[in-house]
Amino acid sequence: DEDKLAYKARIKRLLKEKNAVLVAHYYTDPEIQALAEETNGCVSDSLEMARFGRDADEQTLIVAGVKFMGETAKILSPEKTVLMPTLEATCSLDLGCPIDRFSAFCDAHPDRTVVVYANTSAAVKARADWVVTSSIALEIVEHLDSQGKKILWGPDRHLGTYIQKQTGADMLMWQGACVVHDEFKARALAALKEQYPEAAILVHPESPDNVVAMADAVGSTSQLIKAAQTLPNDKLIVATDRGIFYKMQQAAPDKTFLEAPTGGNGATCRSCAHCPWMAMNGLKAIEEALTDNNGHEIFVDEQTRIKALIPLDRMLEFAA
Ligand code: 13P
Ligand code: SF4
């Protein structure tokens, strides 16, 4: 509508004026993803967001996603100004893995290589040997396992279980979960599959293991979009945040997409297939961030940043 058009026009002007670029995640609202596309920004998974931010020529990054994504951008580009539509947008995995408790867990197992998911605070990354995102986690753990390393994994237990099953690696796990993916239900998914036997099932590995077990493709958000394109099926059942449908539909315009069921038996769930923190990223908040940094800028303590940079760079180099 008219309001949105006006916001978009003002944001486009401000991006130019401030030498800023928009870096958005697939789970943000379609209008934000579209705006990032129209302004030569980036819409991607968390690994590519990190890379894009690091390599961008612009002086300011507007990271539309959740806090760990903004922090990662700042760790990689301390000389850039990193802004977020709201600093309140966190992640249940980050919240469920406070540094003091995690650090004590690591201290209790000094013989283990610490591998943490990118969905964590800068302080937790600074305590890690490796950072991984869902698109590269399997390969990195495979690599460490082949070197005979025992792993301490945190914080997502479902992603950890998936990787452990795939690689057979020795992994001691922190018991965190994503409030969105944790709600997908295997029994209801089986019923939906019975209704549409020709459909393929796409699952993000933050989902419970009995849901992952039913998948035709498991992967990060960008890997799932690829799978939607390349699988021969015309119908796809998707177990991840529904924000992804904007790009999936673009990538495979002739296919039909169905949301995987949450909550089972009509029961309600806490965050039915849409991340409440991703949803905080609106056009109004983006305009505010571009107008006044105050309350929108990401800062990472320099000592923490230098430590967190090591495992992050390790991941990016491995992925290159
Ligand atoms: P991706 O790296 O797959 O984009 O995942 C990030 C995330 O927060 C998923 O919930
Ligand atoms: Fe975190 Fe889950 Fe939201 Fe991703 S979808 S940001 S893992 S709470």
What does the pLDDT read at residue 271?
61
For the stretch 236-263, pLDDT in tens is 999 999 999 999 999 999 999 999 999 7
Query: Per-residue pLDDT averaged across 151-161, rounded?
Result: 98
Q: How far is the CA of 180 from the centre of ligand 1 (A)?
A: 11
Give domain 93-173's CATH superfamily: NadA-like (3.40.50.10800)
Q: What's the fold here for domain 2-90+278-298?
A: Rossmann fold (3.40.50)
For the stretch 163-199, pLDDT in tens is 999 999 999 999 999 999 999 999 999 999 999 999 9
| CB distance 240 to ligand 2 below 6 Å | no
Q: How far is the CA of 194 from the centre of ligand 1 (A)?
A: 28
What does the pLDDT read at residue 237?
97
Q: Provide the β-strand partners of residue 236.
A: 200, 257
| CB distance 182 to ligand 2 below 6 Å | no
Same fold: 2-90+278-298 with 93-173:
yes
Using a pLDDT cut of 90, give the percent of the chain over it.
Answer: 95
Report the complex ipTM: 0.97
- Choose the weakest-confidence range: 175-184, 255-264, 267-276, 304-313: 267-276
What does the pLDDT read at residue 264?
52
- Which residue's CA is the nearest one to ligand 2's atom 8? 91
Q: Which ligand is nearest to the CA of 176?
A: 2
Q: How far is the CA of 10 from the centre of ligand 1 (A)?
A: 29
For the stretch 72-116, pLDDT in tens is 999 999 999 999 999 999 999 999 999 999 999 999 999 999 999
Is 155 in contact with 102 (CB distance < 8 Å)? yes
206 is in an annotated binding site: yes
119 is in an annotated binding site: yes
How many CB atoms are closer than 10 A to CB 197?
7
- Which residue's CA is the nearest one to ligand 1's atom 6? 46
Query: Quick check: 266 pLDDT over 70?
Result: no
Q: How far is the CA of 219 from the centre of ligand 1 (A)?
A: 9
What does the pLDDT read at residue 272?
80
Give the Cα separation of 297 and 92 in Å (integer).
21
Half-sphere exposure (Cβ direction) of 296: Cα atoms closer than 13 Å: 25
Domain boundaries, the chain: 2-90+278-298, 93-173, 181-259
246 is in an annotated binding site: no
Options 2.60.40.1120, 1.20.1050.10, 3.40.640.10, 3.40.50.10800; which CATH number does 181-259 get? 3.40.50.10800
Question: Crossing angle, helix 46-55 and helix 302-319, to 10 degrees?
Answer: 110
Ligand 2 atom having least distance to the Cα of 65: 6
Q: How far is the CA of 27 from the centre of ligand 2 (A)?
A: 9
Cα-based torsion angle of the residue sequence 278, 280, 282, 286 in order, rounded to the nearest 10 degrees: -90
- Mean pLDDT over the full length of the chain: 96
> Shortest CA distance to 240 belongs to which of 33, 59, 45?
45
**Banded pLDDT at 1 (limits 50, 70, 90):** confident
What does the pLDDT read at residue 295?
95
